[in-house]
Amino acid sequence: MINEGVDGLRITRLADELAVTRGSFYWHFKDREDLLQALVGHWQRKNTAAVVLSVQDAGTIDDGILALFDTWLDPARFDPLLDSAVRDWARRSDTLREAIEDADRARVSAIASLFEKFGYDNPEAFIRARVIYFTQIGYYALHIEEPIAERIGYLEAYFKSFTGLEIDPAKAAAYRARHLEGPS
């Protein structure tokens, strides 16, 4: 799916690549449509849930924004290639386009709730949520690849742009160390 799009998902081909029989494939999925629905469910549970959960229990705006950044930097939590593949597929499927719109609304709503929790009124909370979310989705859509050190080098500027506030310097230093130096 990620490499060839939804058209690359063929039962015979998948069975061959996984070294299983077509019959064993059908043990797990009723048909190709069932497989596609399972894939959409996986995408929703993985990527949308990751964004929503990342900001849910933040103790400060700094913590929430940094947790959101962590989610987007970790493909095990938020898979940008899967997200892009599903978005490409949705260009040809009205039903999936609705699922994309629902996911985008849920993600933006969760981020807006973070801003509201820390005193931002609407529509400012909503607009800030859209700006931060659309910026990240734009990174994926444009296939921007930059070294992690470069991206994190912009941490304070991004934070101020997204929140209108200065990030706590100690939290910024800890975040930078965690991502650039790795675990001790």
With beta carbons less than 8 A apart as the criterion, state whether 119 and 150 touch. no
7 is a domain residue: no
Instruction: Give the separation between CA 8 and CA 126, rounded to whole angstroms.
Output: 37
Whether 22 maps to a domain, the answer reads no
- Tell me if 74 is assigned to some domain: yes
Assess if residue 126 is contained within a domain. Answer: yes
Residue 121: domain span: 42-180
Helices (H), 118-168: 124-141, 148-153, 155-163
Is residue 101 domain-resident? yes
Look at residue 116 and tell me if it is in a domain.
yes
Domain count, the chain: 1
Q: Specify the pTM.
A: 0.87
Evaluate whether residue 35 is within a structural domain.
Answer: no
- pLDDT tens for the chain, residues 1 to 184: 677 667 666 677 776 777 777 777 777 778 878 888 999 999 999 999 999 999 999 999 999 999 999 999 999 999 999 999 999 999 999 989 999 999 999 999 999 999 999 999 999 999 999 999 999 999 999 999 999 999 999 999 999 999 999 999 999 999 999 999 865 4
Kindly state whether residue 149 falls inside one of the protein's structural domains: yes
